[in-house]
Structure 1
Amino acid sequence: MRKALIVGIDYYSHITNLGGCVNDALAVRGVLERNADGTLNFPTPNVLIGTNDTQPVTKTELKSAVRELFVDDSDVALFYFAGHGYLEDTGGYLCTSDSVDGDDGLALSEVMTFANQSSAKNKVIILDSCHGGSAGSNAIARTMTEISDGVTILTASTATQYALETGDGSGVFTRLFVDALNGAAANLVGDITPGSVYAHIDQSLGTWAQRPVFKTNVKKFVSLRKVDPPIALADLQALTTHFPTADHDFLLDPAYEPERSPGQENDPSIPPPDPEKNAIFQVLQKYVRVNLVRPVDAPHMWHAAMGSKSCELTVLGQHYWKLVSEGLI
Structure 2
Amino acid sequence: MIVGINDYASAPCLSGCIADAVAVAQCLERNEDKTVNFRCELLTSEKGGMVTAPVLRQRLHAHLDQNFTGDALLYFSGHGAATSLGAHLLTYEGAQFSPGVPMRELVDLANRSRARNVFIFLDCCYAGAAGSDEEVVGSFENEAKLREGVTILAAARPRQGAHEVAGHGVFTRLVLAALAGGAADIRGRVSTAGIYAYADAVLGALDQRPIYKSHAASLEPIRLCRPTVSDEELRQLPTLFREPMTRYSLAPSYEETFEDVAVPEHVVVFKAFKRLQTAGLLRCEVGQDLYWMAVRSQGVELTPLGQLYWELATAGQI
Question: Could you say which TM-score interval applies, normalised by the shorter chain?
Answer: over 0.9
Q: In 1, distance between residues paired with 2:306 and 2:313? A: 10
SS at match of 2:92: coil
Paired position in structure 2 for 1:15: 11
Paired position in structure 2 for 1:77: 72
SS at match of 2:7: coil
Which runs of structure 2 are paired with 1:266-281 in the superposition (5 Å)? 272-281=261-270
Q: In 2, distance between residues paired with 1:151 and 1:117? A: 10
Q: Structure 2-normalised TM-score?
A: 0.93
Q: In 2, distance between residues paired with 1:28 and 1:102? A: 31
Which runs of structure 2 are paired with 1:1-329 in the superposition (5 Å)? 5-43=1-39, 45-51=40-46, 54-71=48-65, 72-101=67-96, 103-139=98-134, 142-166=141-165, 168-259=166-257, 272-329=261-318
140-149 vs 211-220, greater mean Cα deviation: 140-149
Aligned residues of 2:117 and 2:149 also touching (Cα < 8 A): yes
Report the count of equivalent residues.
313
Q: Which runs of 4+ in 1 moved over 6 A?
A: none
Summarize the Cα distance change of 1:102–1:47 in structure 2 as closer, same or farther, 3 Å threshold: farther
Counting aligned pairs with the same residue, the percent is: 35
Aligned residues of 1:88 and 1:103 also touching (Cα < 8 A): no
Unaligned runs of 5+ residues in structure 1 are: 266-270
Aligned residues of 1:93 and 1:103 also touching (Cα < 8 A): no
Displacement, 1:17?
0.2
Displacement, 1:103?
4.8
Q: In 2, distance between residues paired with 1:306 and 1:89? A: 71
SS at match of 2:311: helix
Q: Deviations over 1:248-284 (max 9, x none)?
A: 1111122222235xxxx9xxxxx83233222211111
207-216 vs 272-281, greater mean Cα deviation: 272-281
Q: In 2, distance between residues paired with 1:90 and 1:207? A: 32
Q: In 1, distance between residues paired with 2:207 and 2:235? A: 40
Q: Deviations over 1:38-60 (max 9, x none)?
A: 222112x22110135x3110011
Q: In 2, distance between residues paired with 1:102 and 1:286? A: 58
Paired position in structure 2 for 1:268: none
179-188 vs 271-280, greater mean Cα deviation: 271-280
Displacement, 1:226?
1.4
Unaligned runs of 5+ residues in structure 2 are: none
SS at match of 2:156: coil
Q: In 2, distance between residues paired with 1:200 and 1:219? A: 21
Q: Deviations over 1:207-257 (max 9, x none)?
A: 333111000001112221112212222222111111111111111122222
Aligned residues of 2:151 and 2:215 also touching (Cα < 8 A): yes
Aligned residues of 1:108 and 1:136 also touching (Cα < 8 A): yes
Q: In 1, distance between residues paired with 2:162 and 2:29? A: 25
Q: In 2, distance between residues paired with 1:46 and 1:116? A: 21
Cα RMSD over matched residues?
1.7
Equivalent position amino acid for 1:184 in 2: G
Aligned residues of 2:103 and 2:131 also touching (Cα < 8 A): yes
SS at match of 1:126: strand
Equivalent position amino acid for 1:317 in 2: G
Aligned residues of 2:83 and 2:96 also touching (Cα < 8 A): no
Q: In 2, distance between residues paired with 1:144 and 1:233? A: 37
Summarize the Cα distance change of 1:143–1:299 in structure 2 as closer, same or farther, 3 Å threshold: closer
Q: Structure 1-normalised TM-score?
A: 0.90
More helix by share: 2
6-15 vs 90-99, greater mean Cα deviation: 90-99
91-100 vs 250-259, greater mean Cα deviation: 250-259
Aligned residues of 2:85 and 2:97 also touching (Cα < 8 A): no
Summarize the Cα distance change of 1:323–1:102 in structure 2 as closer, same or farther, 3 Å threshold: farther
Aligned residues of 2:89 and 2:101 also touching (Cα < 8 A): yes
